[in-house]
Structures are given as C-alpha cells and as structure tokens.
Amino acid sequence: MTSLDDLDTPCVVVDLDVLERNVSRMAARAHAAGVRLRPHAKTHKVPEVGRLQLAAGAAGISLAKTGEAEVFAEAGFDDIFLAYPIVGAGKGRRLLALADRVRLAVGVDSVEGATSVGAVFHAAGRRLDVLLKMDCGYHRVGVPPAEAATTARRIAELPGVALRGIFTHAGHAYLATAPADVAAIARQEGEILAAAADLLRSEGLTVEEVSVGSTPTARVAMSVAGVTECRPGNYVYHDASQVSLGTCAIEDCAMTVIATVISVPAADRAVLDCGSKTLSSDALRPRAGGHGWILGRESRLDRLSEEHGVVRVAAGETFRVGEKVRVLPNHACVVSNLHDRVVLARGERVEGEWSVAARGRVR
Ligand SMILES: Cc1ncc(COP(=O)(O)O)c(C=O)c1O
C-alpha cells in the first residue's frame, strides 16, 4: 500500500471521501430546491469527477473554453454548456463539429458575438443554442438588467442561433466579508435573473433556462423562485478562500498539495518546494493574506516565487528540512490547470490517480 508520505513532491492530492461528500451534498441541495445542477467542470477538468457529478444527478456540465468542451465530449459527455461569451467564426466551426454529438449551448453577451458564431451554424443549416449572459453586480461580462430585453430580442432574431435562456455568475460574492452579505448577493443573483426571465417572456421570447451559480451563492440563489439551473464549480474541492468566506470548513476541502520543506534558513522562515508553478499566484479571498495554509499549523505561506514557497514560521512552531507538509491552496480551480495529474487518496492511503485531461485547454 502506498501512503501519502511516499509521494514525490510537490504533489496535488484529492481526498475521495471528501470529494464524494461534496458532490452528493450539492446534488442533494439542487434536488431539494427543484433545480437542475450543471456543475462548472473547469474546477477539476477531470472527466472522472464529471462522471461522479452526473451519477449524483447533475443534468450536464458547464465549461468555459471550447477546448475543454472538446476534451469532455471526447470522454463521452453529451450535454455541455460553455458558460462564457463565445466569439468568432473559428470557435463557431469547432462548435459545429461538437454539436453533432453533444447537446450544446454557449454563452453570449453581445449581438456581434452571437452573429459571429451564428453565421457558421446558419451556413450549415443549423442553429446553436445560446444563453444571454447577464451582469448581476460582478461587473465582468454580461449585459446590465436594463438592456437584457433589447439584446435578447436582437439575438433571438439572428440566423443560426436559438435563445435557450439567460445566465449569470455572482463572482462579486467572493469579495463579501460577512456571510449575510454573501447571502444578500445570492438572493439578488437569483432575483435579477428571475425578473429578467419574466420580462423576456412577457415580450414573447422563450426562456427555458434561468441559470445562476457560484459555490458561495449556490445554496441561496438556487432557492429563488424562477431559477431553473445552478452551476457551482469550486464546491467539489473547496479551498482556503471558501473556508475564509465561510462557505465550508477545512474538513470539506478535498484538494491539498503535499510539499517538502527544502530549507530552513532562519528560525522564522522555512521554504517549501511549492511555488507559483504549483499553487498559482491567486490571492486568498475575500481578503488577500498569504498563499496557502499549512494544515495543522499556524504558520502561513507568506510569499511565492516560481519554485519556492516561503513560510513565515509562527511563534512556537518549527520546521525541519525534509519534512512533508500539506498545503491548502487559496484557489483550487487554478491549481487544477497547473497539473497533469492528481493523486487520489482516502485518508493517508493512496488509491490511484486521475489525468487532468482538460488542463491548459485555454482556446
Ligand atoms: C460563468 C461561471 N459560472 C459558474 C462558475 C462557478 O463558480 P464557483 O467556482 O464559485 O463555483 C464560474 C466560476 O468562475 C463562472 O465564471
């Protein structure tokens, strides 16, 4: 039997007991709320995890990139939503090939973008399902609520596309510092979309899907009347940001990085073999504060360079060269994108590994 202690480092480990519990809890929540669950698989990029999500009742998966959809389609996934504004004839041609074997939909937030992919489908005598992205306060992409009806109408009239619904992502919840603020953002996320769906329907447009979703807002947003679908992603693994937001406890975090102490140059400083190439440079949310938590210790990863993780050693703690520690990353989704494989464990026992098949598929 291989144990975690035998692994070469740095090494990303996924605890299967925690993963399975996270998957079934979110599935149960969606079931109880009466909404379809369409998890965002960009968090894990692993077909085997997607299959666990489908087996627990997910209706399909969400992804961001066309290349990610190609990998999951190849792995047999047949209902995929690209929750991202897809633009350009090049993407349109790749999507046309995918649409032969997958129930496919993509995000749009402009007439220009929808026209560019729709033209390819129209030329082939086909239609691509699209969901209009709405801005519910994150102010990243998406049309503001006041423009939703006008933009939706113009998109619905385009050749080569069919409006399936609307969607949003309340990414600003990650900056809320109190649980009550996260809950208020979540309610708003659901209510803005439900109101927009009513408005669009009153104008004669078909709105089959009203899709919300992020891990911190999922529980509240999916329970708003009128919401039909939820797309949380991070919940499968969770991370230090979810713990500091209050979304979950440390025991709910399935992904950790095992690292080795490679140097202890001073009593207050130890250095691990995991830097930004392993953990990414993503900040802790909602407030920046180091680069990962060392489980069981007060000491924190204070700064990263590419291959070095510098620990500020807390008073009363010591580290020794050669010792292995477990780091809880700030942001699990970006860690997935940096690694070819994740090692699977139950407790201290290694059970195998999975290929992160869609990592790096940024196009
Ligand atoms: C459009 C969209 N939907 C869903 C998600 C999933 O959110 P989370 O990772 O908070 O679960 C994301 C994450 O960035 C997203 O961008």
What whole-number distance in Å separates Cα of residue 80 and Cα of residue 205? 23
Q: Ligand 1: does its nearest atom lie under 6 Å from the Cβ of 214?
A: yes
Does residue 53 contact residue 19 with C-beta atoms inside 8 Å?
Answer: no
Q: Whose CA is nearest to atom 5 of ligand 1?
A: 214
Among left, alpha and beta (phi > 0; psi -120 to 50; other), residue 222 is: alpha
Taking the centre of ligand 1 as the mean of its atom positions, its distance from the CA of residue 63, in whole angstroms, is 9
pTM assigned to the model: 0.97
* Stretch (H or E) spanning 229: strand 229-230
**Using a 6 Å cutoff on CB, does residue 231 contact ligand 1?**
yes
Say if ligand 1 is within 6 A of residue 39 CB. no
**Probe residue for ligand 1, chosen from 22, 172, 214, 336 as the CB with the greatest number of ligand atoms within 8 Å:** 214
Say how far residue 347 (Cα) sits from the centre of its chain. 24
Measured CA to CA, the distance from residue 162 to residue 122 in angstroms comes to 11
How far is 267 from 330, CA to CA, in rounded Å? 25
Q: Are 10 and 257 in contact (CB under 8 A)?
A: yes
Report residues of the chain scoring pLDDT below 50: none
Ligand 1: centre distance to CA 8 (Å): 32
Choosing from 141, 169, 212 the residue with most ligand 1 atoms within 8 A of its CB, the one to mutate for a pocket test is 169
Query: Ligand 1 pocket: which of 40, 185, 219, 334 to mutate (most atoms <8 Å of CB)?
Result: 40
- How many whole angstroms from 43 Cα to the centroid of ligand 1? 9
User: What is the chain's percent helix, strand, coil content, to nearest 5?
Assistant: 35, 25, 40
Q: Is the CB of 219 under 6 A from ligand 1?
A: no
Tell me which residue of 48, 30, 46, 28 sits closest to 38, measured CA to CA.
Answer: 30
Contact 234 CB / ligand 1 (< 6 Å): yes
Quick one: tokens of 179? 């649980």
> Distance from the CA of 239 to the center of ligand 1, in angstroms?
14
Helices 66-74 and 47-55: crossing angle in degrees, nearest 10, is 70
CB atoms within 10 A of CB 345: 24
Alpha carbon 246 to chain centroid, angstroms: 17
Separation of CA 216 and ligand 1 centre (Å):
10
168 CB near ligand 1 (under 6 Å):
no
Answer whether 83 contacts ligand 1 (Cβ < 6 A): yes
Q: Give pairs for 72-75: CB < 8 Å, separation 24+.
A: 72/41, 72/47, 72/358, 73/98, 73/101, 73/102, 75/47, 75/50, 75/357
Residue 318 CA to residue 309 CA, distance in Å, equals 16
pLDDT recorded at residue 116: 98
Q: Give the 3-state secondary structure of residue 104.
A: strand
Tell me how far the alpha carbon of residue 235 lies from the centroid of ligand 1, in angstroms: 10
Residue 85 CB–ligand 1 contact under 6 Å: no
Convert the pLDDT of each residue in 29-80 to its tens digit: 999 999 999 999 999 999 999 999 999 999 999 999 999 999 999 999 999 9
**Count of all residues that appear for the chain in the document:** 363
User: Is 359 within 8 Å of 334 (Cβ atoms)?
Assistant: no
Please tell me the distance between residue 169's alpha carbon and the centre of ligand 1 in angstroms. Answer: 6
Q: What is the predicted pLDDT for the residue at 1?
A: 61
- Structure confidence at residue 352 (pLDDT): 97
Q: Using CA atoms, how far apart are residues 35 and 347, in angstroms rounded to an integer?
A: 33
